[in-house]
């Protein structure tokens, strides 16, 4: 039968989720401790929980949400996924939605046929990469922690470096970084995680090494691209993460960016999983 999630279901549901990794590890706590996220289960009287579906509203809206669905392998092809999806869309959080995003692994549990049958269209794909190697060769170039004096250069570097990717996938806004005081304060709050490659006070490249060992927002200023600086800033980021005690270093890259994927793999990153993101715009159906 289909029923609402209860707190005592948490441990069993987390085990199910980790089979498919449809929710990132860092998101698990949020999903099961947020009253604004609606979760329903398919619970068999003999076999236990066979699958789940949930709606996670985007901040500040009742019309846009992530809708996630997972059925354990042994219970598939029995209509459970369809039942869970139809039921979650009848819930109060589901009936108002006009834009829905979902995701699933294509390397393990490819649900392309299921979602296309519901009218979803592919939005983009993402490769998750892990690095378990040793220290990379070190460079004599000047790598420094972020300071406020680099705000304009850093913000403009983010805007221009990710513009093409964001435009291709229609990530709004296409220019990802507003040059305002709010963004300035955000950078300052995270200054110990942002690293810059500088030459004569001019920004060449940057990378974020966050507090979980994840490498993010790696970019090279356009006029310096094609000169090996992408490799150097990534090697620095790897070494910085290792120096902080992280044994497993992570990053991700959109499928579209084949050049970055090739670079990361050449440095020893392994592709762990590929996730496809699909979207449904209700007004179109």
* pLDDT tens string 183-208: 999 999 999 999 999 999 999 999 99
The pLDDT of residue 247 = 84
Give the confidence band of 26 by pLDDT, cuts at 50, 70, 90: low
Does this model's pTM top 0.85?
Answer: yes
Q: Percentage of the chain surpassing pLDDT 70? A: 93
The mean per-residue pLDDT over the stretch 235-245 comes to 96
Task: Assign domain 2-97 to a CATH class.
Answer: alpha beta
Token duo for residue 52? 């789940």
Q: Rounded to an integer, what distance in angstroms lies between the CA atom of residue 166 and that of residue 65?
A: 20
Q: Would you kindly state where each structural domain of the chain is located, as residue ranges?
A: 2-97, 142-247
Task: Render the burial of 175-196: b for 16+ CB within 10 Å, e for the rest.
Answer: bbbeeeeeebeebeeeeebbbb
Contact assessment for residue 120 and residue 281, using Cβ atoms and an 8 Å cutoff: no
My answer on whether omega of the bond before 173 falls inside 30° of 0, hence cis, is yes
| Mean pLDDT, all residues of the chain | 90
- Sheet holding 48-57: strands in order across? 2-4, 38-44, 48-57, 64-71, 99-105, 270-281, 121-131, 249-254
pLDDT tens digits along 69-120: 989 888 888 999 999 999 999 988 788 899 999 998 888 778 899 999 999 9
Dmax over CA atoms of the chain, in Å, equals: 69
Range in 12-21, 200-209, 233-242, 266-275 with the lowest mean pLDDT? 12-21
With tokens 């070190």, the residue in question is 138
CATH domain 142-247 topology = Aminopeptidase (3.40.630)
Range in 42-51, 52-61, 232-241 with the lowest mean pLDDT? 52-61
Per-residue pLDDT for 285 more than 50? no
């Amino acid at each position: 039968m289909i029923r609402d999630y209860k707190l005592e279901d948490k441990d069993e549901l987390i085990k199910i989720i980790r089979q498919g990794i449809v929710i990132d590890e860092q998101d698990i706590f949020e999903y099961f401790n947020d009253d604004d996220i609606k979760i329903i289960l398919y619970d068999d009287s003999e076999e236990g929980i066979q699958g789940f579906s949930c709606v996670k509203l985007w901040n500040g809206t009742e019309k846009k949400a992530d809708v996630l669905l997972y059925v354990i392998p042994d219970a598939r092809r029995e209509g459970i996924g369809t039942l869970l999806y139809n039921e979650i869309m009848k819930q109060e959080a589901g009936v108002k939605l006009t834009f829905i995003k979902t995701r699933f692994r294509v390397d393990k549990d490819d649900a392309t046929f299921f979602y296309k049958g519901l009218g979803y269209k592919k939005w983009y794909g993402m490769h998750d990469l892990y690095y378990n190697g040793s220290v990379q060769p070190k460079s004599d170039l000047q790598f420094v922690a972020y300071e406020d004096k680099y705000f304009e250069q850093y913000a403009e570097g983010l805007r221009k470096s990710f513009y093409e990717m964001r435009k291709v996938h229609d990530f709004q806004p296409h220019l990802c970084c507003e040059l305002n005081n709010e963004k300035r304060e955000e950078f300052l709050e995270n200054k110990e995680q942002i690293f810059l490659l500088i030459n004569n006070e001019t920004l060449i490249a940057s990378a974020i090494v966050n507090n979980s060992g994840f490498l993010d927002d790696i970019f090279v200023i356009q006029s310096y691209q094609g000169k090996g600086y992408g490799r150097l800033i990534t090697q620095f980021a790897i070494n910085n993460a290792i120096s902080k005690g992280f044994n497993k270093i992570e990053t991700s890259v959109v499928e579209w960016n084949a050049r970055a994927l090739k670079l990361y793999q050449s440095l020893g990153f392994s592709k762990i999983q590929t996730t496809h993101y699909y979207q449904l715009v209700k007004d179109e159906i």
